[in-house]
Amino acid sequence: MKGNYRWVVVALLFFATTINYLDRQVIGLLKPTLEKELNWSETDYSFIVMCFTASYAIGLLAFGKVIDKIGSKMGYAISIVIWSFAAMAHALAKTSFGFGAARAALGAGEAGNFPAAIKTVAEWFPKRERALATGIFNSGANIGAMVAPIMVPWILGAYGWEEAFLITGAIGFVWLILWWVFYEVPSKHKSVTTEELAHIQNVEEETTEVAPIAWGKLFGYRQTWVFIVGKFFTDPIWWFFLFWLPSYFSTTFALDLKKPSLHLAILFTCTSIGSIGGGYISGYFIKKGWPVYKARKYSMFFFALCAVPIIGARWATDIWQAVFLISIAASAHQAWSANIFTTVSDMFPKHAVSSVVGIGGLAGSLGGVIFPYIIGVVLDAYKADQALSAGYNVIFVACGCAYLFAWLLIHFISPKMEAVKS
């Protein structure tokens, strides 16, 4: 019997990613409460978001290199300890500067999640299964964002905003125990059968082995720039969904964020379908005999098209119409994300995967620094004219176009996304 312990590993990655996004989503749901207490403007809030994304960018760069050196087990453990303490530290903040500092620490710690997870998938799965495995663990982002609108308002109403940060932040330490007990690399794990190990190490699917690549030389490969471009232009859209959608629904449709939100929960539940489905679709094409690059690229083009309907949210006359249109785009993002992450393990040897993920994540986070600043300026300008909803409509146009633009650049940089040979 082949054995299926690799799917237990995916479950661990899924729950880590769920906690990761639960912790980062809390502030978006508490924004209406905190902006009243601290008198934040939209620009003030955008700078707090920028503290997170800027620190996240630096952390990705650091964790990418560190995890390739010390391994995913220790790297993941260090990451979740930092981010869990940082999440809890928000409860001590009393000023916008304090929140900015706490967000910066959170971003630095949370940056380790994806480099460690993608490296783990590359170590535990043959190439034809990686997009599905990535889609499954990446769907944890959606579950975290789905649970938060239900859990956080309840804690806020029952205990207060400080406790919302303390309780959600503490969950990471429970996961850390499970990770330390149940995880090890496949070749050393007692629960992995000989047959499953042979399945994981399918040499027919692997790229030609190459000598270790110096970190600085990674920038000289077109394959690295495929990932950089794909992340830079699309990651900021996901940041917008996470940090501004609760406020958008509150100001545009009078959604009460002090109560559990069915609308947001449903929206982010739909994105789980996109994440898992996005990984399945490209894997299905590969099993049908398509070249790996063709399966990934055609799938990503389809997902880019699926993001376009969000532009129509400007004509939504009730909240459920907006939820429907935004759900499609957010699901498309997660399907895109499952594939853009997997292109790294498609094109690079395992020893360079975390480093490339860190570099691309840095690019995505830099975009996530720039875009929130633009959002804050746009929303404050439209708010001054008593037309805040029109400001969101401008942003939805940018969201709808970003993925097609990124896909065209990727196609121009590397039409066939070949594997690194030397």
Q: Is 190 in a helix, a strand, or coil?
A: coil
Write the CB contacts of 163 (distance below 8 Å, at least 6 apart in sequence).
Answer: 91, 155
Any idea which residue has 């995505």 for tokens?
A: 364
* Burial of 108 per CB tally in 10 Å (0-12, 13-18, 19+): buried
| pLDDT values of the chain reduced to their tens digit, one per residue, 422 residues | 567 898 999 999 999 999 998 998 898 889 888 888 888 888 888 888 889 988 988 887 788 778 888 888 999 999 999 999 999 999 998 888 899 999 999 999 999 998 899 889 988 888 778 878 888 887 887 788 788 888 999 999 889 899 999 999 999 999 999 999 999 888 888 888 888 888 887 754 444 455 667 777 888 888 899 999 999 999 999 889 988 888 889 888 988 877 877 888 888 888 878 888 888 888 889 888 898 888 999 999 999 999 999 999 888 888 999 999 999 999 999 899 889 988 887 888 877 877 888 888 888 888 888 888 888 888 888 888 888 888 898 999 999 999 999 999 999 998 887 777 75
The tokens for 19 are 């906690």
Encode 162-199: b = buried (16+ Cβ within 10 Å), e = exposed: eebbbbbbebbeebbeebeeebeebeebeebeeebbeb
The tokens for 382 are 């439209």
- The 10s digit of each residue's pLDDT in 228-259 is 999 999 999 988 998 888 888 988 898 887 78
- The 10s digit of each residue's pLDDT in 147-157 is 888 899 999 98
Is the separation of the CB atoms in 344 and 102 below 8 Å? no
The three-state DSSP-derived secondary structure of 330-373 is: HHHHHHHHHHHHHHHHHHCCHHHHHHHHHHHHHHHHHHHHHHHH
The tokens for 342 are 């997997």
Alpha-carbon distance 357 to 60, whole Å?
A: 8
